[in-house]
Structure 1
Amino acid sequence: MKPPVQAKRPPEPNPRDLTRSEVAYRRIKTAIFDFVLLPGEGFTESDMAERLGMSRTPVREALFRLELESYVKVAFRSGWSVAPFDFRKLEDLYDLRVVLECSAIDRLCAADPMPDLSELKAVWLVPERDRLTDTTEVATLDEAFHAALVRAAGNAEMARVHADVTDGIRIVRRLDFTQPPRIAATYDEHAKVLKAVLARRADPAKLLLRTHIEASKAEVRKITIHKLHSARPAEGTL
């Protein structure tokens, strides 16, 4: 039995090719996404520089970049803090996902010939015994599924905007896969969407997709600071 095909991911850049500021930016952002740094948590540039093992200058540059992306906030005389969740913005991003991905489905179902979706079939149309169960892997594959549908539609600008939306919701999207039933549901729902697209049944595919995304968005509404604390790694470091 062949192992399930993994979705392709772009190669990670060589750390030696990154500036110190870029390294700091990536490490702080990862810490926020992995809940090592929690919403509302405060810190100073000196604290962060010490945790990262580098000088304050690249850390400051990274923090200002993260501030532009709304991940951290700066306060006069009191240092920095991780930005609190803007649940309204998150829900708006989920709604935008629906618009973009439904448009992609319309394009895919009307395309002649239909773009090759064999890699998605190899990941999602597999027997239940071949399904992955690791939450991080499934979360990565989930993102790859939705991104691949949009890319396959052939509109580069649509794919670019969708990538920005994906980045904006990633911080909470991972919590959608903390329970086994959600992993199983993702496999089932992705399979149904993909089969409908392959059959060129655009309207059923879009209905299935909306239902799938609404279920994910409903999980976002349930997130509380208590849950975020429980998701924090015991020995989290930067």
Structure 2
Amino acid sequence: MRSAPRPAPSAKRQTDAAFRTRADEVYAQLKRDVAEFHLVPGDRFTENEISERLGVSRTPVRQALFRLQQEGFVEVLFRSGWRVLPFDFDQFEQLYDLRMVLETTAVHRLCESGHRVNRDLLEQLASIWLVPVAQRSNDAVQVALWDEQFHCDLVAAAGNAEMARIHRDVTDRIRIIRRLDFTMQRRIDATYDEHAKILKAVRANRGDQAAMLLRAHIETSQAEVRKITLHQVHMARHAGRGAGGR
């Protein structure tokens, strides 16, 4: 009996690429679910549940989950599916320390002569943060996105691609914690005020002042992280559902 013909190499490559693409999509969606509190620490789920919800086969789901496991977001449970891992606050402390080094170094470079600075990025930030109080957004989700972009763009504008890449990785890993920061109106108001001061110092080429303001800004956010409780996470999930979340 003749065996079935093997798929042509090009067809196999196309199939593998399709699976990788779907796995990437599932991976990105599950990370959004964590960042937006649809999945919170302690939640349990199965591959079949994710597969049915996202309308994909189990193969890309499994690939995405193994990737998230390597990054410390989830763990596999023996014969009972997967679980979202509890927050690792020691790791968050270390990531905030690394973020502090990267961002203060970046603002110093932005203010030094001789460095190639992306002024367009700085002007884009000014159009968001240097606005009258009446024009500020109260949309917590939008402000959280703008906040993340503010810090990434500050580093990117300094012109060191490797520094920007590492900073984006750190940003990715602390996203859920930073999103919690914007469930409180006082933190939204403070973010506008502090970002405006940092930008004004950078535009005036006052590197020491910009770094001092940025350090204080990050330290305040870091202090808020230490106060986070699981109750706050569940409250954020309910608030998201009430606003139209899953």
Q: TM-score range by the shorter chain?
A: 0.7 to 0.9
Q: 1:211 pairs with 210, 216, 226, which one?
A: 216
Q: Which residue of 2 aligns with 1:75?
A: 77
* TM superposition shift of 1:22: 2.2
Alignment of 1:1-238 (within 5 A): 19-112=21-114, 115-116=118-119, 117-232=122-237, 233-234=240-241, 237=246
* TM superposition shift of 1:155: 0.5
Task: Please tell me whether Structure 1 or Structure 2 has the larger radius of gyration of its CA atoms.
Answer: 2
Q: Which amino acid aligns with 2:103?
A: E
Q: Which amino acid aligns with 2:28?
A: R
Out of 120-129 and 205-214, give the one that drifted further. Answer: 120-129
* TM superposition shift of 1:18: 7.8
* TM superposition shift of 1:206: 0.9
Q: Deviations over 1:150-182 (max 9, x none)?
A: 011110000000000100100110111111111
Q: Which amino acid aligns with 2:71?
A: E
TM-score in terms of structure 2 length: 0.84
Number of residue equivalences: 222
Gaps of 5+ in 2: 1-17
Q: Deviations over 1:74-133 (max 9, x none)?
A: 122222111111011111111111100010011111134754122122111111111111
Within 2, Cα distance between the matches of 1:20 and 1:121? 37
Within 2, Cα distance between the matches of 1:61 and 1:93? 26
CA pair 194-75 structure 1, distance change in 2 beyond 3 A = same
Within 2, Cα distance between the matches of 1:105 and 1:77? 50
Identity %: 58
Q: Secondary structure at the match of 1:174?
A: helix
Q: Secondary structure at the match of 2:174?
A: helix
Within 2, Cα distance between the matches of 1:78 and 1:101? 42
Within 2, Cα distance between the matches of 1:114 and 1:70? 35
Q: Secondary structure at the match of 1:22?
A: helix
CA pair 121-17 structure 1, distance change in 2 beyond 3 A = farther
* TM superposition shift of 1:58: 1.6
Out of 198-207 and 227-236, give the one that drifted further. Answer: 227-236
Q: Which has the higher contact order (CA 8 A, sep 6+)?
A: 1
Greater helix fraction, Structure 1 or Structure 2: 2
* TM superposition shift of 1:52: 2.3
* TM superposition shift of 1:148: 1.0
Q: Which amino acid aligns with 2:36?
A: D
CA pair 115-43 structure 1, distance change in 2 beyond 3 A = closer
Out of 25-34 and 214-223, give the one that drifted further. Answer: 25-34
CA RMSD, aligned part only? 1.9
* TM superposition shift of 1:194: 0.9
Q: Secondary structure at the match of 2:82?
A: strand
Gaps of 5+ in 1: 1-15
Within 2, Cα distance between the matches of 1:76 and 1:111? 58
